[in-house]
């Protein structure tokens, strides 16, 4: 009995030490992630607060709250013009390229992912390898060839809008990987049942497969929209002056408003607000879909 009592005390002591180590580790990890999250949120909050200050007040008190919230910064920015193009027109150009580019990219990515995920043919593995390889090639390595291609196809200058949509139509990338894993998880029984009912391959793809992968499609569309909205290099290279996106216009605006930081921050908030709202609405769907896609791949 005495030996059993000592053994029980030993087990209880070990369990207690493990519990203490677990709680200590949990709080240390929590503190690290809290500090990391605060470091990410602080610049955004500081920029938001500073955008409601007057220029003189910002110079006197950079990190303080404004004595009076000054909303005219946003109105003045919306009236600002660069090469005859207003901020409103830049926003419209960004919206058009973002929406159309996302739709086109999602269509071609989903078609390519579906073919490779559900059809067996020679060279399938090579195509998949090429898709992975294109993701690791830096854009600097392909940029000269891309510019030459756009010039030879006459998709620059006045045709730059269509040229950018052409560049956005590439089927390979993150969307392809996520959709490939999602399509692979769809049971072939649904495809066979649809074929028996007389559905063609494209109709089966649209009416059977895509609805089952709705979550992944939403996640891809949101992430791709954010990427195109923030894209600076492509519109800067190809769009003519006077027809630029908001991301390109902000650079010129910062140069023109050099020193007036509250107005610069107000313009940044205008650019950030749409994608922030979009992400907050769909963040749960994005996390669920990307996790599921990674596990099923």
Domain co-membership, 118 together with 257: yes
Give how far Cα 60 sits from Cα of 47, 50, 65, 66, 260, Å.
16, 12, 11, 11, 13
- Which residues on adjacent β-strands are paired with residue 81? 86
**Is residue 242 scored above 70 in pLDDT?**
yes
Q: Provide the number of structural domains found in the chain.
A: 2
Per cent of the chain over pLDDT 90 is 4
d(C-alpha 123, C-alpha 129), whole Å: 10
**Is residue 189 scored above 50 in pLDDT?**
yes
pLDDT tens, position by position, 197-212: 777 778 888 888 888 8
Domain co-membership, 143 together with 283: yes
Domain co-membership, 122 together with 38: no
Domain co-membership, 46 together with 168: no
Q: Range of 10's domain?
A: 2-50
Q: What are the structure tokens assigned to 265, written together? A: 């921050």
pLDDT tens, position by position, 20-47: 777 788 888 889 988 998 888 888 888 8
Residue 149 C-alpha from the chain's centroid: 27
Burial group, residue 118, by CB count within 10 angstroms (0-12, 13-18, 19+) = middle
Tell me, yes or no, whether 76 lies in a domain: no
List CB contacts of 266: < 8 A, sequence separation 6 or more: 51, 73, 74, 76, 77
Which CATH number covers residue 201?
A: 1.10.3720.10
Domain co-membership, 17 together with 109: no
d(C-alpha 269, C-alpha 279), whole Å: 15
Residue 296 pLDDT: 43
Give me the half-sphere count of Cα atoms (radius 13 Å) on the Cβ side of residue 144.
1
Helix (H, G, I), strand (E, B) or coil at 186: coil
Domain co-membership, 104 together with 181: yes
Contact 93, 243 (CB under 8 A): yes
Tell me, yes or no, whether 71 lies in a domain: no
pLDDT tens, position by position, 94-152: 999 999 999 999 999 888 888 888 888 788 888 888 888 877 777 666 778 888 888 88
Per cent of the chain over pLDDT 70 is 88
């Amino acid at each position: 009995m005495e030996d059993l009592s000592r053994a029980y005390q030993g087990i209880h002591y070990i369990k207690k030490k493990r519990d203490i180590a677990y709680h200590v580790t949990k709080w240390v990890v929590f503190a690290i992630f809290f500090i990391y999250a605060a470091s990410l949120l602080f610049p955004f909050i500081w920029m938001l607060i500073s955008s409601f200050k007057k220029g003189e007040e910002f110079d006197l008190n950079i990190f303080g709250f404004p004595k009076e919230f000054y909303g005219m910064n946003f109105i003045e920015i919306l009236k600002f013009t660069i090469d005859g193009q207003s901020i409103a027109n830049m926003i419209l150009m960004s919206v058009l390229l973002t929406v159309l580019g996302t739709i086109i990219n999602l269509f071609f990515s989903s078609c390519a992912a579906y073919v490779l995920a559900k059809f067996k043919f020679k060279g399938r593995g090579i195509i998949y390898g090429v898709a992975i390889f294109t993701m690791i090639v830096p854009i600097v390595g392909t940029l000269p060839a891309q510019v030459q291609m756009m010039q030879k196809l006459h998709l620059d200058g006045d045709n730059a809008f269509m040229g950018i949509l052409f560049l956005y139509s590439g089927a390979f990338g993150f969307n392809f990987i996520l959709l490939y894993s999602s399509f692979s998880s769809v049971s072939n029984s649904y495809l066979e049942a649809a074929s028996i009912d007389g559905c063609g391959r494209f109709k089966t793809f649209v009416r059977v497969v895509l609805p089952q992968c709705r979550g992944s499609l939403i996640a891809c569309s949101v992430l791709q929209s954010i990427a195109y909205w923030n894209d600076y290099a492509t519109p800067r290279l190809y769009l003519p002056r006077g027809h630029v996106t908001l991301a390109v216009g902000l650079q010129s605006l910062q140069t023109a408003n050099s020193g007036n930081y509250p107005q610069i921050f107000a313009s940044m908030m205008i650019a950030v607000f749409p994608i922030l709202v979009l992400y907050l609405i769909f963040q749960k769907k994005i996390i669920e879909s990307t996790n599921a896609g990674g596990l099923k791949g």
